[in-house]
Amino acid sequence: MKTINVGICGLGTVGAGVVNVMQRNVAAIAARAGREVSITHIGARRDNPACDVGSAKVSRDIFAVVNDPEVDIVIELIGGYEPALELVMQAISNGKHVVTANKALIAMHGNEIFAAAEKQGVSVLFEAAVAGGIPIIKAMREGLAANSIEWLAGIINGTGNYILTEMRDKGRQFDDVLADAQQLGYAEADPTFDVEGIDAAHKLVILASLAFAMPLNFDACFTEGISAIAPQDVVFAGELGYRIKHLGIARKTDQGVEMRVHPTLIPQRRLIANVDGVMNAVLVKGDAVGPTLYYGPGAGAEPTASSVIADVVDVVRTIDAEPSNRVPALGVAQESLSALPILSMSDINTAYYLRINVNDQPGVLSHITQILSDSGISIEAVLQKEAVQQETNVKASSRQIPIVLITDRTLESQFMAAVESIEALDAVQDSIHFIRVESLG
């Protein structure tokens, strides 16, 4: 059978990983693909000493790869929106299959990419775009095909998870841990995408589209980062039996679909609450199978290469099949996707952790609980810490103490109205800090 020729665009960390793994496991890959697979053309601005490209042609113009008539499959690893979008669309126009690790590209432009690929009769696969080496895309698109997915929740950014783990285990401040993460190479020089949840939102949008057979809609995803998390929140959460994780959550309800990325308190007995460091995990609840957890490295050269090459093998297996017999990018054909309504955060129903700094005076807690009660919000747990007197001449009434509450589930619009009323109390100092709580049971 004809050898399948692969072209790689981008020879950074992941690109070098793909080259190394394909060379090391060439026989196993050929056996699983059913024919020989060879890297014949690489587009890269510079060489990478972390790999030996062998006899592959190297071009400084990445478009030379997608325009090479000998290349059957293009692997896009340059990242970002442009020129990645132009590159992928040109590859599709040239009748080439595409494998990509570019979550931002898929989240923002996947609809047009998949439509063009379906029209052209080629495949676009993107396992490595979400959770690195964890085969979560294939699991959701094929392994859970019998299920109606009810919800999913994922730790899908290793940088944020590393920061929260260090804050919990060592009592460190956010800024200090972030600086270490940058030195270790876990965080970029500009860490905005990681710590403010944008990277996780890209991935969540992809997972939600797979779960609920709907078009990709990044602009509708609520995103909140972890930069406001204080060490005391981590400590208080632990005292209450919870851990703080930066989660991407998607849930289908009768009213529509939730898509939200934010810090979340999770009961520490849950498996996903014990996923630490730079590791990723995705918890998926199907109506037939129940909850299933997928865990592993979310980044890195060879873990990500593992997913990229698995996609290459899938393409090779079906390269001669009728396009209609291949698994569609989002599990169903483009015309079968449903544009479901995306809920705003005001319509979300969840529980809440509140940390309220108040003056140390009688009756404050009763005023707060009365406001919550009047708003129809029940309280599940309370921590009221002793005031620490910094100076002997400070009156007790002017000392501050934190009151920490966990509420039962309530509508976010109701909760926010109650928060506004509590903040108006004379005894309440500063803005109330709150974190959403999910049981994930």
Mean of the per-residue pLDDT values of the chain: 95
Read off the pLDDT band of 390 (50, 70, 90).
Answer: very low
Q: Is CATH 1.10.3720.10 correct for 4-133+301-336?
A: no
Q: What is the mean pLDDT of residues 169-187?
A: 93
d(CA 316, CA 329): 15
Is 245 a known active-site residue?
A: no
For the stretch 416-419, contacts whose Cβ atoms lie closer than 8 Å and that sit 24 or more positions apart, written own/partner, are: 416/346, 417/375, 418/371, 418/372, 418/375, 418/377, 419/354
Q: What is the pLDDT of residues 105-144, one digit of tens each?
A: 999 999 999 999 999 999 999 999 999 999 999 999 999 9
Architecture of domain 346-437: 2-Layer Sandwich (3.30)
Q: Delimit the domains of the chain by residue range.
A: 4-133+301-336, 136-297, 346-437
pLDDT exceeds 80 at position 57: yes
pLDDT of residue 397: 53
pLDDT at 385: 73
pLDDT tens digits, one per residue of 217-276? 999 999 999 999 999 999 999 999 999 999 999 999 999 999 999 999 999 999 999 999
The number of CA neighbours under 13 Å toward the Cβ of 100 is 28
Asked whether the predicted pLDDT for residue 398 surpasses 70, the reply is no
Region 282-287 average pLDDT: 98
Quick one: pLDDT at residue 407?
97
Give 93 or 363, the one with higher predicted confidence.
93
Q: Which residue has the tokens 């997915």?
A: 149
Catalytic residue among 203, 245, 252, 285, which? 203
Q: Percent of the chain at pLDDT above 90? A: 92
- The whole-number pLDDT of residue 391 equals 46
Under CATH, domain 136-297 is a member of which superfamily?
Answer: Dihydrodipicolinate Reductase; domain 2 (3.30.360.10)
- By percentage, how much of the chain surpasses pLDDT 70? 97
